[in-house]
Chain A
Amino acid sequence: MDQMEEIRETFFLECEELLEAMEAGLLSMNSGEADAETVNAVFRAVHSIKGGAGAFGLESLVRFAHSFETTLDEVRAARLVASEPVMRTLLKSGDVLADLVRASQANDEIDDAAHADVLAELTAHIGKEECAAEDEDATDDFVPMTIDVGDDNADADEAETSGASIAETQDSGEGLEAFEADAQDDGQQRYRIDFRPFPELYSRGNETFLLLRALTTFGEAEIQCNTDDLPLLGEVDPEGAYLSWTVLLTTESSEEDVAATFEFVQGDCELGIKLLGGGATQTQAQAQAPDMGAPGDSTVEPTAQSASSDDPLAEIPATSSTEAQAEQNDAAPDPAAKPTPPEPPAPKPASKPAAGKTAAKEAGGGPKPTVRVELDRVDRLINLVGELVINQAMLSECVMEASDNHNSNVATGLEEFKQLTREIQESVMAIRAQPVKSLFQRMSRIVREASDATGKSVELHVEGETTEVDKTVIERLADPLTHMIRNAVDHGLETPDKREANGKSARGAVLLTAAHRSGRVVIEVGDDGAGINRERVKQIAIDKGLIPEDAELTNSEIDNLLFLPGFSTASEVSDLSGRGVGMDVVKRAIQALGGRISVASTPGEGTTFSISLPLTLAVLDGMVVDVAGQTLVVPISAVIETLQPNEADLHNVCADGPTVRIRGTFVPIVDVGAQLGYRNPKSDFHDQVILLVETDDGVGTALAVDSIHDQRQVVIKGLESNYGQVRGIAAATILGDGRIALILDAEALVSNAGGAIAPAEQPLELAS
């Protein structure tokens, strides 16, 4: 039972990958870039999902996947052109399939009616005939098969007819009833089985011995081998088939069961199963013309019978229909039923399939081998490596303090140890990194849905899909990103007629990009819509009491109002983005990941939201600084340069506060000590060290600190779970000497200092 659960888990894990592959394939099909292999890969993905789903009895999933797969098969076989409507259906089907997989995984009740429309679209593309053929329940309106589906279904058809005739004979044939009463006195029946294998039977890996042995399991069997056809030794073809057998079998088993023994060798042998003792049934594995049977005998074809009952598709001719026809004639049974096997020589075996290509050598560059590891184990490893880094730093510090000789063997060894630790750490981090591709792919669905719901025609452009980000970050980005994409379509883009009136193309564009930028990952969601309506935004904020009526706000401050809790621009809550989630929730989600979000908008040209995220959540390269007796860590990724200012470069040029001139540009100074409440604001910064940090506006800001201590990697320990979020502080870390140091959030400090909307936080101190 547990094992089954485990496989189930494997199945759903695999489904995720398959769905991803399917989506990627569908998208490239949609853009017309797909080759045959892409279509094949999509087909395989859906097929595999269906296969697994069948094993777990997930019927809704199987049914849908089946129709989906059938349509894909039509496309694959070039019987159906992947036109725009077809692609639309396929994309939608992909979405439904993903939903069904997730619902199945969660054991949710599945309402088939919910995707009945998509199913109907699929069915419409497949065409009526095939649907009837595939739908087991549709026997009432059975439609004749088309030539496409081939001989197999024609056979099934035939099977059904003969199946019906069996029933008829058995119901009405008095002779048969009489016989049955007679023969089943002791419940035993006697069969005569004539069996003559063709060479194919052997070349396909079957074995007469096994078949005969299987017959003996039914009851008592007298087996006689007929060697009449054996040629002289010199003429023997080692791969030929010269022997035939006659078996007299006494058994309680039904003829069907006996015939099933030969299921795998149908078409590879001549087979006659005859019920002995009166007007018995006589059977031929190979289809027999109705007039061949002895008059008065009830003629049954066991293969057809099994085909019509157990497995409707069991009977597959191994040869094409014309060949089968020829064989039928050759293999006509002897009506007199002599004790020796039928006379006619074995039909000439069908020639080997011509397509004998050994594709084995075409081994292409397959996917790299991978190992699946539980995330917990990786996280544990990452934590341990984090501790190792701290430990190594502490050890280094102790040794350096204890010894003056920094060139000793110990010191050299420690240096190597440090390098190794770092390499281990990087490798471990890389385990968690994943390209954002999977995340971005999901967004194309969001765009599709949003564009359907709003009636706006939207195109999603994606850039930087291969950018790698920590897995947790990717997972936790899905919701905020979904919301932002919906917003972009719903609020960002204008309606098609409005766009055209403004000289834009009716089709709106949403741009989703990812890139590494100065040690962080920047993800942007942009649209080419009307831009933020600042007047309206401001008015709403005033109406909702978020800002005072007479507030003087810059454009960027107005834009940032969008992130305030309780703000929603949609005058009527639309079905789409109005799901009770505002941009404030998005912002909080991003901040929880150690990220920042900002917005830029140009009227008439569009709006772009940028999210800037750390590469990993576990460690960062930090600059250890002293401020008013406190040790703090500034993320190096934020620091552009450090400098000791000349007194001549320090100015108090305006009311905004002190500035420092760096290469001709005046940069505002942020007094870190004062910002965090460690000391009163300084007026003289000449004894301070300046850290020039990057800000989103591009100018940069100068952070003033007392001194720089060190530069090292620190393990991030979150404060949020114990402390809540503290403005200006990103997290904390443990230093080599065991002391705790706060990690600064440079950007927040800067925005706090200049025109802060939120009130300054309480000073924060840590006992050292």
Chain B
Amino acid sequence: MPLTVLAVDDSRTMREMIRIALAGEGFEVHVAEDGIHGLEVLGAIDPNVIITDINMPNLDGFGFIDGVRQSGGPHRAKPILVLTTESAPELKARAKRAGATGWIVKPFEKTKLVSAIRRVAR
């Protein structure tokens, strides 16, 4: 079974980069455009790892993580990696408070992304 990853990011560029980077590793990649879309997609798939951006319209990364953690559903304890930029350390702290498992610093290298996912994937 390949690892399944859900990537939530409002930037098409980022989604595309993540998709290509991970598909090359044989991962099955699903994408969502914002937190709300992410929660919707989670209704249909069962990813091993979730990656989310923070700054997104409609429902941001914090809200999304919170939504997953508070859902009481099968994904409630899923590993969630947050995409952050170095310039925003407070985001990391906030994301962690919201329940993020770990983080990936943007811009990311493919190897780091993959190793971060492997680190938390079950």
Chains A and B form a bound pair: yes
Which residues of A does B touch, CB under 8 Å?
A: 3, 6-7, 10-11, 13-14, 40-41, 43-44, 47-48, 50-52, 54-55, 66, 69-70, 134, 149-153, 156, 202-207, 210, 214, 263-264, 267, 311-313, 316-319, 353, 355-360, 362-364, 366
> Which 6 A/B pairs are nearest by Cβ-Cβ distance?
A264-B102, A205-B101, A54-B107, A313-B89, A205-B79, A11-B13
Measured CB to CB, the nearest residue on chain A to B59 is A359
Chain A nearest Cβ from B33, distance in angstroms: 8
Residue pair B79, A41 in contact (C-beta under 8 Å): no
Chain A nearest Cβ from B67, distance in angstroms: 5
Chain A nearest Cβ from B91, distance in angstroms: 9
With a cutoff of 8 Å between Cβ atoms, the chain A residues found around residue B69 in the complex are 203
A763 to B59, CA, bound (A): 67
Q: Which of A203, A317, A363 contacts B36 (CB 8 A)?
A: A363
A203 to B70, CA, bound (A): 10
Q: Which of B14, B90, B92, B98 contacts A52 (CB 8 A)?
A: B14
Chain A nearest Cβ from B64, distance in angstroms: 8
Q: Which of A14, A210, A360 contacts B11 (CB 8 A)?
A: A14
Q: Which of B13, B67, B70, B96 contacts A204 (CB 8 A)?
A: B96
A-B contact pairs, 8 of them (CB 8 A): A10-B13, A54-B107, A55-B108, A69-B87, A210-B121, A264-B101, A311-B86, A353-B66
A66 to B14, CA, bound (A): 18
Measured CB to CB, the nearest residue on chain B to A318 is B96
Q: Which of B58, B96, B103 contacts A363 (CB 8 A)?
A: B58
With a cutoff of 8 Å between Cβ atoms, the chain B residues found around residue A66 in the complex are 87
CB-CB under 8 A for A44 and B10, given A55-B17, A66-B87, A311-B105 = yes
A44 to B56, CA, bound (A): 7
With a cutoff of 8 Å between Cβ atoms, the chain A residues found around residue B10 in the complex are 44, 48
Residue pair B17, A366 in contact (C-beta under 8 Å): no
Residue pair A10, B16 in contact (C-beta under 8 Å): yes
Chain A nearest Cβ from B98, distance in angstroms: 6
Residue pair A318, B106 in contact (C-beta under 8 Å): no
Chain A nearest Cβ from B58, distance in angstroms: 6
Residue pair A214, B99 in contact (C-beta under 8 Å): no
Query: Is B93 an interface position by the 8 A CB rule?
Result: yes
Digitize B40-74: 1 where CB-to-A-CB distance is under 8 Å, 0 elsewhere.
00000000000000011111000100110111000
Residue pair A210, B36 in contact (C-beta under 8 Å): no
List residues of B (6-23) whose CB comes within 8 Å of A's CBs.
10-14, 16-17, 20
CB-CB under 8 A for A366 and B34, given A51-B107, A359-B67 = yes
Which residues of B does A touch, CB under 8 Å?
A: 10-14, 16-17, 20, 34-37, 39, 55-59, 63, 66-67, 69-71, 77-80, 85-87, 89-90, 92-93, 96-103, 105-108, 119-122
Residue pair A206, B102 in contact (C-beta under 8 Å): yes
Measured CB to CB, the nearest residue on chain B to A201 is B101
A51 to B86, CA, bound (A): 10
With a cutoff of 8 Å between Cβ atoms, the chain A residues found around residue B56 in the complex are 44
CB-CB under 8 A for A205 and B93, given A360-B39, A360-B59 = no
With a cutoff of 8 Å between Cβ atoms, the chain A residues found around residue B70 in the complex are 356, 358
Q: Which of B67, B99, B102, B107 contacts A55 (CB 8 A)?
A: B107
Identify which of B67, B93, B103, B120 gathers the most chain A CB atoms within 10 Å of its CB: B93
Residue pair A204, B99 in contact (C-beta under 8 Å): yes
Measured CB to CB, the nearest residue on chain B to A369 is B33
Chain B nearest Cβ from A5, distance in angstroms: 12
Q: Which of B14, B90, B108 contacts A152 (CB 8 A)?
A: B90
Chain A nearest Cβ from B120, distance in angstroms: 7
With a cutoff of 8 Å between Cβ atoms, the chain B residues found around residue A355 in the complex are 66
A263 to B34, CA, bound (A): 27
Measured CB to CB, the nearest residue on chain A to B15 is A10
- Using A44-B55, A205-B101 as known contacts, list a sample of 19 further A-B pairs with CB atoms less than 8 Å apart, ordered by residue number in A: A7-B20, A14-B12, A44-B57, A51-B85, A54-B107, A150-B90, A203-B99, A205-B78, A206-B79, A264-B102, A264-B103, A311-B105, A317-B93, A318-B96, A357-B63, A360-B36, A360-B39, A366-B37, A366-B58
CB-CB under 8 A for A210 and B35, given A14-B11, A313-B92 = no
Residue pair A360, B17 in contact (C-beta under 8 Å): no
Measured CB to CB, the nearest residue on chain A to B56 is A44
Q: Which of A203, A267, A356 contacts B77 (CB 8 A)?
A: A203
With a cutoff of 8 Å between Cβ atoms, the chain A residues found around residue B12 in the complex are 10, 13-14
With a cutoff of 8 Å between Cβ atoms, the chain A residues found around residue B98 in the complex are 353
Residue pair A51, B106 in contact (C-beta under 8 Å): yes
A76 to B103, CA, bound (A): 24
A359 to B37, CA, bound (A): 12
A587 to B86, CA, bound (A): 51
Identify which of A214, A313, A355 gathers the most chain B CB atoms within 10 Å of its CB: A313
With a cutoff of 8 Å between Cβ atoms, the chain A residues found around residue B107 in the complex are 51, 54-55
Chain A nearest Cβ from B50, distance in angstroms: 8
Q: Which of A204, A214, A357 contacts B119 (CB 8 A)?
A: A214
Residue pair B59, A55 in contact (C-beta under 8 Å): no
A319 to B96, CA, bound (A): 9
CB-CB under 8 A for A202 and B89, given A44-B57, A356-B70 = no
Chain A nearest Cβ from B43, distance in angstroms: 10
Measured CB to CB, the nearest residue on chain B to A312 is B86
Chain A nearest Cβ from B70, distance in angstroms: 6
Residue pair A47, B63 in contact (C-beta under 8 Å): no
CB-CB under 8 A for A206 and B120, given A7-B16, A55-B17, A356-B70 = yes
Residue pair A204, B101 in contact (C-beta under 8 Å): yes
With a cutoff of 8 Å between Cβ atoms, the chain A residues found around residue B55 in the complex are 43-44, 47-48
A66 to B99, CA, bound (A): 27
Q: Which of B93, B96, B99, B122 contacts A207 (CB 8 A)?
A: B122
With a cutoff of 8 Å between Cβ atoms, the chain A residues found around residue B39 in the complex are 360
Identify which of A51, A54, A70, A366 gathers the most chain B CB atoms within 10 Å of its CB: A51
With a cutoff of 8 Å between Cβ atoms, the chain A residues found around residue B34 in the complex are 366
A165 to B78, CA, bound (A): 39
Measured CB to CB, the nearest residue on chain B to A268 is B96
A318 to B67, CA, bound (A): 19
With a cutoff of 8 Å between Cβ atoms, the chain A residues found around residue B100 in the complex are 204-205
CB-CB under 8 A for A205 and B17, given A54-B106, A360-B35 = no
Q: Which of B85, B89, B96, B105 contacts A50 (CB 8 A)?
A: B85
Measured CB to CB, the nearest residue on chain A to B34 is A366
A360 to B90, CA, bound (A): 23
With a cutoff of 8 Å between Cβ atoms, the chain A residues found around residue B66 in the complex are 353, 355-359
A150 to B89, CA, bound (A): 10
Chain B nearest Cβ from A200, distance in angstroms: 8
With a cutoff of 8 Å between Cβ atoms, the chain B residues found around residue A6 in the complex are 16
Measured CB to CB, the nearest residue on chain B to A266 is B96
A349 to B98, CA, bound (A): 14
Chain B nearest Cβ from A329, distance in angstroms: 21
With a cutoff of 8 Å between Cβ atoms, the chain A residues found around residue B90 in the complex are 149-150, 152, 316
Measured CB to CB, the nearest residue on chain A to B106 is A51
Residue pair A153, B14 in contact (C-beta under 8 Å): no
A364 to B16, CA, bound (A): 25
Measured CB to CB, the nearest residue on chain B to A362 is B59
Residue pair A52, B13 in contact (C-beta under 8 Å): yes
A267 to B86, CA, bound (A): 20
Chain B nearest Cβ from A538, distance in angstroms: 55
Residue pair A360, B97 in contact (C-beta under 8 Å): no
Chain A nearest Cβ from B105, distance in angstroms: 7
Chain B nearest Cβ from A2, distance in angstroms: 11
A343 to B69, CA, bound (A): 31
Identify which of B20, B39, B79, B97 gathers the most chain A CB atoms within 10 Å of its CB: B97
Residue pair B120, A207 in contact (C-beta under 8 Å): yes
With a cutoff of 8 Å between Cβ atoms, the chain B residues found around residue A48 in the complex are 10-11, 13-14, 55
Chain B nearest Cβ from A316, distance in angstroms: 4
Chain B nearest Cβ from A370, distance in angstroms: 11
With a cutoff of 8 Å between Cβ atoms, the chain B residues found around residue A203 in the complex are 69, 77, 99
With a cutoff of 8 Å between Cβ atoms, the chain A residues found around residue B86 in the complex are 311-313
Residue pair A206, B105 in contact (C-beta under 8 Å): no
Chain B nearest Cβ from A310, distance in angstroms: 10
With a cutoff of 8 Å between Cβ atoms, the chain A residues found around residue B122 in the complex are 207, 210
